[in-house]
């Protein structure tokens, strides 16, 4: 299988690893920002303006959010911590999308305080929100639509009718009518029905579904929508034989749908939003580790100083993450299971994978860890969460999160001799 290239040289990587102990996640700042800008370019036609609320959960580091904010991105949050991260970097007001589902009152209160767009997950949450805010509703409200059997899901997110999220179609009509009759004048509509999807038809279909629905809601209820969010879920090519979604082509196809629905009905301008996380940062993160051990029993193993606590996706979902042994790309290949050190047999980054045959002590790079990598980390077996490093080209880099220490790990225990 073809290799995937790395943006940095082995010498550059060795220089970083000589100062920051492995494992660590390394992020290519310029590539993330360039990708975000290309996404905006593809939707620059939107008459009411385009925004991507970056799904903060994918890489919740304020230095990354700050860089993305400079490229025009907002934040998509669903917890207090994520709201605070946006607040800290100055992502404000309606550039924040707060998508609730099983949400406590204090999170609604914080979202309201920041002026975020509040996206409700259920018709009963209108009353809950009102109570949480001491008897008032925000000027603007958005509902999440779950099309159920009207739309096919995809592998990661599953079938919409099995998903816990959102309003049914009938509840949308009922919910907006209720808001209208309460005097609410500003409306948004959201859906999120795919995850890690590489087929652009899927997103064109989602846009068509939402745009037509808005035309119908307008006709039936006489309300005007100012905000439409098509969700996130644009996938990335984890495997070397996959291709990224052509964003410019996608933008053009969605424009055609817009023109023949919202445009033709004279309902614009409407701000169009997406909330992609994975696609923005995923391909530009790398988990850097050293080969600690090799063993040959019934199979051949390469053991790393990183483990599933640093990157859970392969162990949890069997996800493919490409592996490169930098400097040995063209060397001899061999089939290995590439493992971490947890007392869990699914702590494997790859199973039966042909990789360049590494030596003990070599650097080994796991690709596409810029989304749901460090963020999904955990501390099972007392493993510590790694540092995060921003690579700024050439020999420039910045540690944007230090590695955890045992003192951090034991900090919540009040026990003599620990911490």
Ligand X SMILES: *Cc1c(COP(=O)(O)O)cnc(C)c1O
Q: Which is nearer to ligand X, 55 or 209 (CB)?
A: 55
Q: Which residues contact 85 (CB under 8 A, 6 or more apart)?
A: 56, 60, 62, 65, 75, 77
> Does 99 contact ligand X by CB under 6 A?
yes
Please say whether the beta carbons of 303 and 334 come within 8 A: no
Query: At closest approach, how far in Å is the CB of 79 from ligand X?
Result: 11
198 — phi, psi (to 5°)?
-100, -10
Q: Which is nearer to ligand X, 33 or 234 (CB)?
A: 234
Binding positions for ligand X, 34-63, rule CB under 6 A:
55, 57-58
> Does 195 contact ligand X by CB under 6 A?
yes
Cα separation, 237 vs 16, whole angstroms: 26
Query: At closest approach, how far in Å is the CB of 347 from ligand X?
Result: 24
Angle between helices 125-132 and 105-113 (to 10 degrees): 70
Alpha helices by DSSP H, 162-269: 169-181, 200-221, 247-258
Cα separation, 169 vs 51, whole angstroms: 25
> Does 29 contact ligand X by CB under 6 A?
no
Cα separation, 158 vs 405, whole angstroms: 38
Question: x-or-dash pattern for ligand X, window 370-409, by CB under 6 A?
Answer: -x--------------------------------------
Q: Which is nearer to ligand X, 195 or 218 (CB)?
A: 195
Among 160, 251, 277, 283, binds ligand X (CB under 6 A): 277
Query: Would you mind telling me the total number of residues written for the chain in this entry?
Result: 419
Q: Is the peptide bond before 229 cis (omega within 30 degrees of 0)?
A: no
Question: x-or-dash pattern for ligand X, window 335-374, by CB under 6 A?
Answer: ------------------------------------x---
SS3 69: helix
> Does 247 contact ligand X by CB under 6 A?
no
Total chain residues near ligand X (CB under 6 A): 18
Query: At closest approach, how far in Å is the CB of 289 from ligand X?
Result: 24
Alpha helices by DSSP H, 18-104: 29-42, 62-70, 80-89
Q: Is the peptide bond before 146 cis (omega within 30 degrees of 0)?
A: no
> Does 275 contact ligand X by CB under 6 A?
yes
397 — phi, psi (to 5°)?
-155, 165
> Does 214 contact ligand X by CB under 6 A?
no
Window contacting ligand X (CB under 6 A); options: 32-40, 192-200, 305-313, 346-354: 192-200
Q: Select the residue whose beta carbon is closest to ligand X and give its number.
A: 232
> Does 231 contact ligand X by CB under 6 A?
yes
Window contacting ligand X (CB under 6 A); options: 88-96, 122-130, 232-240, 335-343: 232-240
Tokens of 2: 């073809």
Cα separation, 404 vs 386, whole angstroms: 6
The residues of the shown chain that bind ligand X, judged by CB under 6 A, are: 55, 57-58, 76, 99, 192, 195-196, 231-234, 275-279, 371
């Amino acid at each position: 299988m073809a290799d995937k290239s790395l943006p940095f040289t082995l010498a550059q990587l060795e220089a970083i690893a000589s100062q920051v102990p492995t494992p660590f996640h390394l992020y290519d700042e310029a590539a993330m920002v360039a990708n975000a800008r290309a996404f905006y370019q593809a939707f620059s036609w939107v008459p009411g303006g385009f925004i991507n609320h970056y799904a903060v959960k994918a890489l919740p580091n304020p230095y990354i959010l700050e860089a993305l904010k400079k490229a025009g991105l907002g934040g998509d949050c669903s917890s207090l911590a994520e709201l605070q991260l946006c607040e800290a970097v100055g992502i404000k007001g309606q550039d924040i999308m707060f998508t609730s589902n099983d949400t406590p009152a204090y999170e609604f209160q914080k979202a309201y305080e920041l002026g975020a767009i509040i996206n409700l997950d259920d018709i009963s949450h209108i009353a809950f929100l009102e109570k949480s805010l001491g008897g008032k509703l925000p000027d603007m409200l958005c509902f999440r639509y779950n099309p159920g059997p009207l739309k096919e899901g995809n592998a990661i997110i599953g079938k919409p009718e099995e998903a816990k999220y959102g309003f049914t179609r009938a509840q949308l009509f009922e919910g907006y009518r209720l808001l209208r009759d309460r005097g609410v004048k500003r409306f948004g509509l959201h859906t999120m029905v795919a995850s890690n999807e590489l087929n652009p038809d899927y997103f064109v279909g989602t846009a068509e579904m939402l745009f037509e629905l808005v035309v119908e809601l307008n006709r039936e209820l006489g309300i005007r929508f100012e905000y439409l969010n098509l969700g996130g879920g644009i996938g990335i090519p984890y495997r070397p034989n996959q291709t990224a979604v052509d964003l410019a082509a996608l933008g053009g196809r969605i424009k055609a749908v817009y023109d023949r629905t919202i445009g033709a009905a004279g309902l614009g301008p409407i701000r169009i939003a997406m909330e992609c996380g994975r696609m923005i940062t995923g391909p530009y993160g790398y988990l850097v580790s050293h080969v600690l051990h090799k063993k040959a029993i019934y199979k051949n193993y390469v053991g790393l100083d990183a483990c599933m606590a640093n990157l859970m996706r392969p162990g949890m979902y069997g996800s493919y993450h490409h592996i490169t042994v930098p400097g040995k790309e063209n060397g001899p290949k061999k089939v290995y299971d590439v493992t971490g050190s947890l007392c869990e047999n699914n702590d494997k980054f790859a199973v039966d994978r042909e990789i360049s045959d590494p030596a003990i002590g070599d650097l080994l790079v796991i690709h596409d860890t810029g989304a749901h990598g460090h963020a999904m980390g955990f501390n099972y077996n007392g493993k510590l969460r790694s540092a995060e490093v921003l690579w700024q080209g050439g020999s420039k880099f910045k540690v944007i999160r230090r590695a955890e220490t045992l003192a951090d790990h034991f900090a919540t225990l009040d026990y003599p001799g620990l911490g």
